[in-house]
Amino acid sequence: MADQTDNHPRIPISADPATREAHQHARDLELSTAWERHEAMQPLCAFGDLGLCCTICYMGPCRIDPFSQEDIRGACGAGRDTISARNFTRAVSAGAAAHSDHARGVCHTLIDTAQGKAQGYQVSDPAKLRRLAVELGLKAEGVPVNDLAARVGQELLNDFGRSEGFVHFASRAPQAQQERWTRAASTPRAVDREVVECMHRTHEGVDADYRSLILQAARCALADGWGGSMIATELQDVLFGSPRPLRSRVNLGVLQADTVNVVVHGHEPVLSEMLARAARETEIIEYARSRGAAGITLAGICCTANEILMRQGMPVAGNFLQQELAISTGAVETMVVDVQCVMPGIAGMAKHFHTHVITTSEKARIPGVSHVQFDERKALDIARQILRGAADNFRRRDPARVNIPPHSMDLVAGFTAENTFHHLGGTFRGSYRPLNDGIMAGRLRGVAGVVGCNTVRAPHDYHHLAVVRELLKQDVLVVETGCAAIACAKAGMMTPEAAMEYAGRGLREICQATGLPPVLHMGSCVDNSRILMACTEMVREGGIGDDISQLPVAAVAAEAMSEKAVAIGLYAVASGITTWFHPAPRVLGSRAVLEYLTGGIEKDFGARWVFEPDPARIAAGIVAHLDAKRAALKLAPMLYPADLAGVA
């Protein structure tokens, strides 16, 4: 129970051939990556893994023996339930803080743009800006776009520190869910306040009751999902344009042997949008040519990749566990990083190649790499400077050491809560009716959000793919974000043609009629807020439940790694979406906490967690869950039983 690392002796380190080849190449060069470092860490500390190590005060660290039948207590008297609930709450608050601090930056960029202080930015979706202004109760009519942008930016910035009331977008949730939040005292107030309160309550000697702690963690997670993350998504759409379906390519093979390759990595699109723009400028392309390259390739890793993919169609080099491998191709001139999911290990890897790693955020520096401070007042100039520097570095590339795995795949991305279901309804009839009808008629079993990271504790991409393959076969429409989305894109599941290969008959019929892929890329991890809004729209459309918790929907993060994923898991559950999660957060050492998260919490929020390591059982669990929701709603039986659906 202690070690959740999956041992699949027959499964290689990754389901992705590009990753396997690049990793083998790195090994041949005797370079270590996350996999080797993880291996060297074995055995993992079981106390820590179970959530039974408490480092909160300086009398400890205290550790509770998981096998003891006695009621062992730490020095202050905290037992296993308090300790694991506090550790869990701190993980959630760190995750919520990360998403939300990102959102705060977007608010500032919008305000600075409105005031003419940000170079190269503009309001790209004024219609969405006006809709938001009306929703926030601001006067929009006749107000110039920039004035409105400043007011909307300021109003949402207030959500971080408001002294009374609740975060604005919490009122978007279906009424029944809002009432649950009121009953559980979990309606998010100000974003910063919820993070601070988590830190306060988990300080030594404050909240010792596991349920009370977890309800606060839920309030903090909801301040992320319906606050920070939703603000980031909405304002990034306003600034950079709302995504539309577009085609691009994904995997390490998007790096080119003859171009200057620049990889952007991290989470915030503010600088990478400018890099994407500058990389298209004739002058910059000419500069790269003058340095002996055929042009410039700008590609992304992690959620920065998802952001510029969704809006600019920029290619994606890979997901979380591919960041070091991108460098070990020997073909990356510059890796530009901002915040989150950037392994310090890239600095060590870059030393073996000509690659320059550049940190750009004042919040995130890495010893031994250069820092170019991002400043939105000179954003475009900084972007050009970085690209010129990369072009200069092209001459230092050693062609004999270049080893780019020849794998890349087509994908369609750019789906949102607003545009996706317009496709289902046809160009002239944007509504969720066709989706709800498809579910009611039994053509679709339901919808699953497959999200989250990669982890060295599970074979890379393998769990995502195994779960999604089975769900598609069972006529479940899959929506994705984050590194899970990149995993499925690499495997070819995000093209309209993929429906023929993977989808059950009902889902295939819908994909064929609409031209949609069976797996929809909805963006970065902050864009999980799009999934919350899609669920809200399904409730509003009617016929499949009055509450998100009644919908035939589910969520899964089967290769979770970051604290952000734990925050997302908790806000999904607290929003009424039952969520499968692996590896489990560090709560397995407390029976009470475990039973609450996987059972009792359903009374408070209408949904629960399921901690399940086996992808086949995850998929089977989700299908059974969707069927139970369908039965409770008395929906028609599925039109095409899976075993007759003729999946190839």
- Judged by the rule CB under 6 A, the positions of this chain that interact with ligand NFS are 267, 302-303, 320, 341, 452-453, 482-483, 524-525, 561-562, 564-565
In eight-state DSSP terms, residue 548 is G
Structure-block tokens of residue 406? 């020849």
Please state, in angstroms and as integers, the Cα–Cα distance from residue 423 to each residue in 242, 432, 554, following that order: 15, 10, 22
Query: b/e per residue, 298-312, with b = 16+ CB within 10 A?
Result: bbbbbbbbbbbbbbb
Q: 230 or 483: whose CB is closer to ligand NFS?
A: 483
Q: What is the dihedral of CA 592, 596, 598, 600, to 10 degrees?
A: 140
Structure-block tokens of residue 633? 């709603």
Rounded CA separation 4/18 (Å): 26
Q: 288 or 302: whose CB is closer to ligand NFS?
A: 302
Q: 265 or 423: whose CB is closer to ligand NFS?
A: 265
Backbone angles phi, psi at 610, to 5 degrees: -130, 120
Q: 261 or 562: whose CB is closer to ligand NFS?
A: 562
C-beta of 315: minimal distance to ligand NFS in Å?
Answer: 16
Count of Cβ atoms closer than 10 Å to residue 171 Cβ: 13
Count of Cβ atoms closer than 10 Å to residue 291 Cβ: 16
C-beta of 404: minimal distance to ligand NFS in Å?
Answer: 22
Q: 170 or 302: whose CB is closer to ligand NFS?
A: 302
Q: 297 or 340: whose CB is closer to ligand NFS?
A: 340
C-beta of 503: minimal distance to ligand NFS in Å?
Answer: 24
Q: 83 or 335: whose CB is closer to ligand NFS?
A: 335
C-beta of 321: minimal distance to ligand NFS in Å?
Answer: 8
- What value, to the nearest 5°, has the Cα angle with vertex 354 and ends 348 and 355? 65
Q: 34 or 435: whose CB is closer to ligand NFS?
A: 34
Count of Cβ atoms closer than 10 Å to residue 622 Cβ: 28
Q: Are 34 and 14 in contact (CB under 8 A)?
A: no
Would the CA dihedral through 265, 266, 267, 269 be positive or negative? negative
Q: 361 or 524: whose CB is closer to ligand NFS?
A: 524
C-beta of 304: minimal distance to ligand NFS in Å?
Answer: 8
Backbone angles phi, psi at 261, to 5 degrees: -105, 120
Strands 579-581 and 356-359: unpaired
C-beta of 524: minimal distance to ligand NFS in Å?
Answer: 6
Rounded CA separation 286/284 (Å): 5
Tokens 């930016």 map to which residue?
A: 153
C-beta of 565: minimal distance to ligand NFS in Å?
Answer: 6
Q: 452 or 569: whose CB is closer to ligand NFS?
A: 452
Task: State the amino acid at position 440 in one-letter form.
Answer: M
Q: 456 or 551: whose CB is closer to ligand NFS?
A: 456
Structure-block tokens of residue 360? 């750009």
Strands 370-371 and 356-359: parallel
Please state, in angstroms and as integers, the Cα–Cα distance from residue 168 to each residue in 162, 193, 593, following that order: 10, 14, 31
Strands 476-480 and 446-450: parallel
C-beta of 310: minimal distance to ligand NFS in Å?
Answer: 13
Name every residue whose Cβ is closer than 8 Å to that of residue 85 and which is 6 or more positions away in sequence.
Answer: 210, 211, 213, 214, 217, 587, 590, 593
C-beta of 268: minimal distance to ligand NFS in Å?
Answer: 11
C-beta of 255: minimal distance to ligand NFS in Å?
Answer: 19
Query: b/e per residue, 363-386, with b = 16+ CB within 10 A?
Result: eeebeebeebebebebbbebbbeb
C-beta of 583: minimal distance to ligand NFS in Å?
Answer: 13
